[in-house]
């Protein structure tokens, strides 16, 4: 066994010789960002290993510079331990909380939760009235005892609580099951939680089910990202590791429990009073949470285990709420169109509009929804991580220091960072803006190629001086000497190509859905952008990139975290659950890869619009 310690956190322990630094970190509860899932491809899991490692691997020699290797920089997924080691984690290799959208985007809905509370006053037992305590409660609720179900925990509480409160009690029911017997004055006694399991982030909303009010919110990055930032990497981990599925399930269950504990502490309530949890997530996240094998999602014809709503007990789910509690997972539509999309459909009321409406939820996986001519069409596209900073040389999550805004004014470039701090890289909204600025200035053309030295002579002096390099190595200097590690922040030709691929995939999905519905893109009268992108990206930048059809700017609006709001709606109303089930059944899924026109449309969609 080998001893290893991590700084600056101070975590330490023993692992077997030959373990990689990444695997050792995981064993000790230290999270290192590894976008490629630890396969030695991305070069983003840089650490400083002061001693204790085997010589660099071929992947390290390819991805690290000679100077980095001389300064003990290693890739955590490649460097293996051969003796006691000390490892320093640079700030850009640690997974940190980011700027996460955790707002409540729901519309007004009729409050009709599956959880209800009743205060009842019961007659005292006597020799003349020897009904059991349970029969007495059943009578107080107006339900025959043989039709009423009570959880064992509530049954065990019953005699003590009844007599301690002079037979005045509060009864909490989840569906038709009594989940708790409480003193009548305890408030609040009816709580629920809605959870949005994203590939990148997880958000939990704690709700008072009597009023419908969200009383606390907690969010954190999804720890499954240590096994890859994309869904396919996570599915590959499940397949390759003997306990992969259980490991992935435990990561997300433990996180949800932490978020619920944090939210309960913030609200000053107890988790035992949380009686129901509703859950949304893409189909892969849905399967991993439920412990369902996701391998068939990664190969044609991309079949999920189930598309129906799933209900299970809190104990089965592993959630630390009231033990009699219920967990409700919204239905999914297809292998890569999940319950989060159903949440967007539900809260946008897209199928109730009288005009063609497009909705897009962009993340590592993009979901596109179109309501037109009485049909509800859906598709998914592998947008990849580029829009979230992945595969971008200086791409970062949306946290303090990330460049979130870039603008061009009078030929000069400006930028702003989250928190107003020193720039550390470029996050998604900043990537949209810089691409728009490059196109507007002429520094990049419609094919996605940076201006050559000759063509650059027609640019402003500032834009010309920011361009450097040749061919595939051409790049644009966004920040001179002010970035992470006091270095430059650049946007490269490869970065621009990654954005082209991502935006091409989304736009191709839009075009093919429009063709299926028999409408042109400019006939869309409303474009709804869900999630963080809907709130943070500049609509003009999205149009300038060609991500969206050429519609007037005022037709585009953000609708917030509609997926999370859909989970809230299902928590607050059983009627909304039925509406969600109907939407999932009526939605038509278009498998893009099966469309004979996909490759041609995708190639066309990669082009940027000409300057106007």
Instruction: Report yes or no: 158 and 148 within 8 Å, Cβ to Cβ.
Output: no
Of residues 42 and 501, the one with the higher pLDDT is 501
Mean pLDDT of 394-408: 88
pLDDT at 188 over 60: no
Strand blocks (E) in 354-428:
357-361, 366-372, 375-381, 402-409, 412-417, 425-426
Query: Which domains, from first to last, does the chain contain?
Result: 2-93 (3.10.20.30), 115-182 (3.10.20.880), 191-329 (3.30.420.480), 349-385+500-605 (3.30.420), 386-498 (no CATH)
Q: What is the pLDDT of residue 117?
A: 86
Residue with tokens 């041609």: 600
Among 171-175, 198-202, 261-265, 380-384, name the one with the lowest average pLDDT.
380-384
pLDDT classification of 63: cutoffs 50, 70, 90: confident
pLDDT classification of 484: cutoffs 50, 70, 90: very low
pLDDT at 62 over 80: yes
Rounded mean pLDDT of the chain?
Answer: 89
H-helix or E-strand spanning residue 236: helix 231-240
What would the 3-class secondary structure string for 505-535 be? HHHHHHHHHHHHHCCCHHHCCEEEEEHHHHH
SS3 state of residue 121: strand
Mean pLDDT of 217-225: 90
Please tell me the pTM assigned to this model. 0.81
pLDDT classification of 294: cutoffs 50, 70, 90: very high
Alpha helices by DSSP H, listed for 338-447, are: 339-348, 428-441
Q: What is the pLDDT of residue 21?
A: 93
| pLDDT tens for each residue of 550-593 | 999 999 998 888 999 999 999 999 999 999 999 999 999 999 98
SS3 state of residue 75: strand
Query: How far, CA to CA in Å, does 549 sit from each of 384, 431, 494, 539, 556?
Result: 20, 19, 25, 12, 11
pLDDT at 360 over 60: yes
pLDDT at 126 over 80: yes
**Phi, then psi, of 450 in degrees rounded to 5:** -65, 150
pLDDT at 444 over 80: yes
| 534: Cβ contacts below 8 Å, ≥ 6 apart | 528, 557, 558, 559, 560
95-99, 228-232, 414-418, 455-459: which has the highest mean pLDDT?
414-418
Q: What is the pLDDT of residue 195?
A: 97
Mean pLDDT of 131-151: 90
pLDDT at 174 over 80: yes
Q: What is the pLDDT of residue 485?
A: 45
Portion of the chain with pLDDT greater than 90, in percent: 61
Mean pLDDT of 383-405: 83
| pLDDT tens for each residue of 487-515 | 689 999 999 999 999 999 999 999 999 99
**What order do you get walking across the sheet with 12-15 strand by strand?**
12-15, 2-7, 81-88, 46-53, 73-75
pLDDT at 102 over 60: no
Task: Please count the other Cβ atoms lying within 10 Å of the Cβ belonging to residue 369.
Answer: 27
Residue with tokens 């708790």: 180
Mean pLDDT of 521-529: 94
SS3 state of residue 107: coil
pLDDT at 18 over 50: yes
Mean pLDDT of 2-13: 82
Among 268-282, 317-331, 393-407, name the one with the lowest average pLDDT.
393-407
Of residues 455 and 291, the one with the higher pLDDT is 291
Q: What do you get for the CA distance between the two ends of the chain, in Å?
A: 65
**Preceding omega of 8 cis (within 30 degrees of 0):** yes
Q: What is the pLDDT of residue 482?
A: 47
């Amino acid at each position: 066994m080998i001893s290893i310690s991590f700084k600056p956190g101070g975590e330490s322990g023993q692992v077997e010789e030959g373990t990689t630094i990444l695997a050792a970190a995981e064993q000790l509860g230290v999270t290192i960002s590894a976008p490629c899932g630890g396969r030695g491809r991305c070069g983003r899991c840089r650490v400083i290993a002061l001693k204790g490692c085997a010589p660099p691997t071929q992947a390290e020699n390819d991805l690290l510079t000679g100077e980095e290797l001389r300064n003990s920089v290693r890739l955590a997924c490649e460097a293996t331990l051969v003796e006691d080691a000390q490892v320093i984690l640079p700030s850009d290799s640690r997974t940190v909380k980011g700027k996460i959208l955790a707002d409540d985007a729901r519309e007004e809905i009729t409050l009709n939760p599956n959880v209800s509370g009743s205060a009842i006053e019961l007659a005292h037992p006597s020799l003349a009235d020897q009904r059991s305590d349970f029969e007495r409660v059943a009578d107080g609720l107006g339900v025959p005892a043989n039709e009423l179900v009570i959880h064992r925990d509530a049954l065990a509480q019953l005699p003590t609580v009844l007599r301690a409160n002079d037979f005045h009690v509060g009864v909490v029911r989840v569906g038709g099951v009594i989940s708790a017997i409480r003193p009548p004055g305890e408030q609040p006694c009816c709580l629920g939680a809605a959870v949005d399991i994203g590939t990148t982030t997880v958000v939990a909303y704690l709700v008072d089910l009597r009023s419908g009010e969200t009383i606390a919110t907690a969010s954190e990055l999804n720890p499954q990202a240590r096994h890859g930032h994309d869904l396919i990497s996570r599915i590959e981990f499940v397949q390759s590791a003997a306990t992969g599925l259980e490991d992935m399930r435990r990561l997300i269950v433990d996180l949800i429990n932490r978020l619920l504990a944090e939210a309960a502490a913030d609200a000053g309530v107890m988790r035992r009073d949380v009686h129901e949890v509703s859950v949304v997530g893409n189909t892969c996240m849905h399967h991993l949470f439920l412990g369902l094998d996701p391998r068939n999602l990664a190969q044609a014809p991309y079949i999920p285990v189930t598309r129906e709503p799933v209900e299970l007990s809190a104990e089965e789910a592993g959630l630390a709420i009231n033990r009699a509690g219920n967990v409700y997972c919204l239905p999914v539509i297809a292998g890569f169109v999940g319950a989060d999309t159903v949440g967007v459909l539900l809260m946008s009321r897209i199928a109730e509009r009288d005009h063609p409406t497009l909705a897009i939820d962009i993340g590592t996986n993009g979901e596109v929804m179109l309501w037109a001519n009485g049909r509800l069409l859906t598709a998914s596209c592998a947008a990849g991580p580029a829009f979230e900073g992945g595969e971008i040389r200086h791409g970062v999550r949306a946290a303090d220091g990330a460049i979130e805004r870039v603008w061009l004014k009078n030929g000069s470039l400006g930028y702003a960072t989250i928190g107003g701090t020193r720039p550390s890289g470029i996050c998604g909204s900043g990537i949209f803006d810089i691409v728009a600025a490059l196109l507007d200035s002429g520094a990049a053309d419609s094919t996605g190629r940076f201006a050559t030295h000759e063509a650059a002579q027609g640019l402003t002096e500032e834009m010309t001086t920011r361009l450097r390099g040749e061919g595939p190595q051409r790049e644009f200097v966004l920040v001179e000497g002010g970035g992470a590690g006091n270095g430059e922040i650049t946007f490269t030709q490869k970065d621009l190509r990654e954005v082209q691929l991502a935006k091409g995939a989304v736009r191709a999905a839009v075009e093919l859905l429009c063709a299926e519905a028999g409408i042109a893109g400019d006939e869309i009268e409303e474009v709804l952008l869900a999630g963080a992108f809907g709130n943070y990206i500049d609509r003009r930048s999205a149009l300038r990139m060609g991500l969206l059809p050429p519609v007037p700017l005022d037709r585009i609006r953000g609708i917030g975290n509609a997926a999370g709001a859909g989970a809230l709606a299902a928590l607050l109303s059983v009627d909304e659950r039925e509406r969600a089930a109907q939407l999932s059944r009526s939605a038509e899924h278009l498998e893009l890869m099966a469309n004979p026109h996909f490759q041609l449309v995708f190639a066309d969609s990669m082009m940027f619009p000409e300057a106007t």
